[in-house]
Structure 1
C-alpha cells in the first residue's frame, strides 16, 4: 500500500486533505509504519497542487472577481453619467396632517403648510394645528 500511495503522491494529482486523511487511516489501521506515514505526509505536502485542492474555491473567487468588476463598471457609469436627472428635493413645507397620537406628533422645528401659510413648530409632541393652538406654531412671513 505504501508504494501505491507514494506513486500517486509523486504524480501530484490528488487533493491534499483527502490524501492526508487516507494516509492517517492506513497508519491507524496498522497498514503503514510511523516512518512510512511521516514520509508520505511530507511528500504529500511537498507535491500538493493547489489547483487540485482548491479548484472549487478558486472558481468561486474568479466568479466573484468577475461580478465585482461588472458592478464596479456599472457604478462608475452611474457616477459619471451626465444624463442623470436630479431628484426633486423633499417638500420643505409639507401640508399639515392632523396627528393621531404621540407617535406622529410634530416636533420642535418641523415645518408645515397650513391654510396656505408656512409654520414652524415651537413645541415637542404637538398634535394641534396652528389655528387651534397658535402658541405652538411660529408663522413664517415671506
Structure 2
C-alpha cells in the first residue's frame, strides 16, 4: 500500500486534504507505520498542486455570490457618499476557491484564533493542512 500511495504522490495529481485524510486513515488502521505515514504526509505536502485543491463548483459559486454581495454593498455606500470602512488588518482565513482568491506571499490572516502570514504565492491551503505555507505570528 505504501509504495502505491508514494507513486501517486510523486505524480502530484491529487487533492491535498483528501490524500492526507486517506494516509491518516491507513495509519490508524495499521496499514502504515508511523515513519511511513510521516514520509507520505511530507511528500504529499511537498508535491501538492494548488490546481487540484480548489473547492467544488457549488462552493465556488456560493463564495462568488457572497463576494458579489459585499461589493454591491460597498458600491452602494460609495454612491450614497457614506464611504467604506477600511478592511481588517488580520481578516479571518477564508478557504480560497481558485487562483482568483488564493493567498499571496505576505497576506495576513487569523486562523483558529492565531495570526499567520502567508509565505508562498498561490496558497489555497489553511495553516494546518499546509504549515510550510504559513508563518505563525507570536504575540
Report TM bin, short chain. Answer: 0.3 to 0.5
Q: TM (normalized to structure 1)?
A: 0.43
Larger radius of gyration: 1
